[in-house]
Amino acid sequence: TYPENKIDLPQGTRRGAVKYTDYAIGQFMEKAKTTPWFKDTLFVIVADHCASVAGKTKLPIAKYHIPLFFYAPDLLPAGHYTRMASQIDIVPTLLDLLGTSDAQHFYGQSMFEAARKQLPERTFVSNYQALGYYKENTLIVLSPKQEVEAYRIDPVSLEAVAAPIDHRLMNEAIAYYQTAARAYKHGELKEFID
C-alpha cells in the first residue's frame, strides 16, 4: 500500500508498487539534493529478490536478477554494469568505489575489480532450503541430505534446463559454502580489531 493521490495506478498491483517506489525514491533524492551532505554521499539502492522466487527449479536464477544502483552524481560517472554478481559483492564494491583497500576482509569481491582482472562471473543464490552457485552458465543447487542438481542456464533468457552435474563446479560450490560456514563458526568473519 502507499499514500493516495501520489501516482496514477491502483493499490494492490505490482506496477503500482514499482511506480510508487520510483516516485518515493525520486522525492527522497530531491530533498537530499538540498542538503550539505548530498555532494559527499554515495547512495546504494538494491532489492532483495523478485516478488516470487518460485519456479521450475528450486532456485530460478531469473528471479534473483535484481537492480543495484550506486548513485553519487558528484563522485561517480554514470554507467551501466552488466556482469553477474551477488549481494555479498556489494560492500567490497562500495569500498572499491570509495578507494579503500579494506575489501579483502569480506567474502565477496568488488564487481569492478573482478571485471578489471577478468575473473569469471559467479553468483550465489539461496532460499530457505537450497544453496545455489552459478558460473559458466551452469547453476549448481545444493539441498539438504546432500542432494545436488545442475541446470544449464540460457545466458539471454535465463531459462533453466536440467543438466548433468559438473563435478568441478559442484566441488567449487561446496567449497565456497563450507569455507563460509567454517569461517563463520570459528569467528573468522568478525571485524578485525587492533
Q: Specify burial of residue 16 (Cβ count, 10 A radius: 0-12, 13-18, 19+).
A: middle
SS3 97: helix
| The residue to which cell 531459462 is assigned | 159
Has residue 16 been placed in a domain?
A: no
Q: Specify burial of residue 69 (Cβ count, 10 A radius: 0-12, 13-18, 19+).
A: exposed
Split into its structural domains, the chain has a count of: 1
pLDDT at position 103, please? 53
Is residue 77 within 8 Å of residue 105, measured between CB atoms?
Answer: no
Has residue 150 been placed in a domain?
A: yes
- Tell me the pTM: 0.81
Has residue 110 been placed in a domain?
A: yes
- Lowest mean pLDDT: which of 3-12, 76-85, 162-171, 184-193? 184-193
pLDDT at position 194, please? 46
Which residues touch 35 (CB under 8 Å, ≥6 apart)?
none
Has residue 24 been placed in a domain?
A: no
Average pLDDT over residues 6-18: 85
Has residue 54 been placed in a domain?
A: yes
Pairing of strands 68-71, 122-126: unpaired
Our measurement of the distance from residue 34's CA atom to the centroid of its chain's CA atoms, rounded to an integer in Å, reads: 30
Measure the CA angle with vertex 154, ends 150 and 155; round to 5°. 115
CATH code of 120's domain: 3.30.1120.80
Please, what is the end-to-end C-alpha distance for the chain in angstroms?
Answer: 47
Q: Encode pLDDT of 98-133 as tens digits.
A: 888 665 667 889 999 999 999 998 999 988 889 999
- Short-list 45, 46, 65, 48, CA closest to 134: 65
Cα-Cα-Cα-Cα torsion 78, 80, 83, 87, nearest 10 degrees, comes to 60
**How many Cβ atoms from other residues are within 10 Å of residue 34's Cβ?**
7
Domain hosting 55: range is 35-185
Give the confidence band of 164 by pLDDT, cuts at 50, 70, 90: very high
Q: Encode pLDDT of 55-101 as tens digits.
A: 666 888 888 888 899 999 988 889 998 888 899 999 999 888 888 86
